[in-house]
């Protein structure tokens, strides 16, 4: 992990006032982060939101899972991070009405070295979203979901600096809580130094198997540790959810009636409810 304190320089947040920006972050891999980004974005679009998924992971799995082949990624989030393109330049519409993606490429692997010496290195993404947020067209985005890499590096710090809140996918498996404290500390450091409005939107439990005693114990432990920050909705371990990315589709397009699809629709509804409560507070 990069030293967070070395990456940070005090400054205002780059969060756009007109768009709700959520970073999906967890430095552990294989927790369902990208799957959640794809399917939550699809579910939000299905209930009438206009959604952008920013693929900030060099592996580009969110882009692939939305059916964007690598040949189509002529302008990517790498170009945004190095300042050679705007987010608007990268946008590709998906097969889901109301859902667009800013795709990623392996070039992102080298971006940290390229911008490390820049004073604005932690604000690159936030400022790009700010510019996008000033778009006054009727089809302007209402939600931006940032799919972060599975590490707490400069890309993730950019995502946290650019966001209103963090959504943390957590798998219902052994060591689920391992690393969560480190992520929470990083979020707090970013809040104090860079983005005063940043908070934890919620923890979403993924890969739940009700037949597994360990899964049930993990749910109990996480709810005890994080309390109301844990969403009521739990994403089950589901074959159709696992199959969908290989077809370049969100599971809601692949099999709307499966348990995984229904869970993501329920999660989207719960997130909207939390958003309303936050705005009313």
Can you give the pLDDT at residue 276? 84
Indicate the range of 128-137, 176-185, 199-208 predicted with least confidence. Answer: 128-137
Can you give the pLDDT at residue 30? 83
pTM above 0.85, yes or no: yes
Can you give the pLDDT at residue 139? 57
Position 230 pLDDT exceeds 90: yes
Q: Which of 167, 177, 128, 205 is nearest to 37 (CA)?
A: 167
Gyration radius (Cα) of the chain, Å:
17
Can you give the pLDDT at residue 9? 42
pLDDT, one tens digit per residue, over 79-94 is 999 999 999 999 999 9
Q: With bands split at pLDDT 50, 70 and 90, how would you rate the model's confidence at 11?
A: very low
Can you give the pLDDT at residue 277? 83
* Average of per-residue pLDDT across 148-177: 91
- Percent pLDDT > 90 in the chain is 62
Can you give the pLDDT at residue 245? 86
Can you give the pLDDT at residue 31? 87
Position 5 pLDDT exceeds 70: no
* Average of per-residue pLDDT across 183-202: 93
pLDDT, one tens digit per residue, over 15-72 is 544 689 999 999 888 888 999 999 999 999 999 999 999 999 999 999 999 999 888 8
Name, of 166-175, 194-203, 246-255, the range with top average pLDDT.
194-203
Position 215 pLDDT exceeds 90: no
Can you give the pLDDT at residue 2? 42
Q: With bands split at pLDDT 50, 70 and 90, how would you rate the model's confidence at 14?
A: very low
Can you give the pLDDT at residue 1? 39
Position 273 pLDDT exceeds 50: yes
């Amino acid at each position: 992990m990069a030293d967070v304190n070395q990456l940070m320089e005090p400054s205002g947040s780059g969060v756009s006032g007109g768009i709700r920006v959520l970073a999906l972050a967890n430095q552990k891999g294989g927790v369902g982060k990208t799957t959640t980004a794809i399917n939550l974005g699809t579910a939000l679009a299905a209930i009438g939101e206009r959604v952008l998924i920013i693929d900030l992971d060099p592996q580009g799995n969110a882009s692939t899972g939305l059916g964007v082949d690598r040949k189509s990624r002529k302008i990517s989030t790498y170009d945004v991070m190095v300042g050679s393109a705007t987010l608007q330049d990268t946008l590709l519409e998906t097969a889901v009405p109301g859902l667009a993606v800013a795709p990623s490429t392996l070039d992102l692997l080298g971006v940290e070295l390229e911008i490390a010496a820049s004073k604005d290195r932690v604000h690159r993404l936030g400022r790009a979203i700010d510019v996008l947020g000033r778009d006054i067209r009727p089809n302007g985005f209402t939600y931006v979901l940032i799919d972060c890499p599975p590490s707490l590096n400069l890309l993730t710090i950019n995502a946290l600096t650019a966001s209103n809140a963090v959504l943390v996918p957590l798998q219902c498996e052994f060591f689920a809580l391992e690393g969560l404290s480190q992520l929470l500390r990083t979020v707090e450091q970013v809040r104090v130094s860079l983005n005063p409005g940043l908070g934890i939107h919620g923890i979403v439990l993924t890969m739940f198997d009700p037949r597994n005693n360990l899964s049930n114990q993990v749910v109990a432990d996480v709810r005890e540790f994080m309390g109301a920050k844990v969403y009521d909705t739990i994403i089950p371990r589901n074959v159709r959810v696992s199959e969908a990315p290989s077809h370049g589709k969100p599971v809601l397009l692949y099999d709307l009636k499966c348990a995984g699809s229904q869970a993501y629709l329920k999660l989207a509804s719960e997130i909207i409810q939390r958003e309303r409560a936050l705005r009313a507070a």
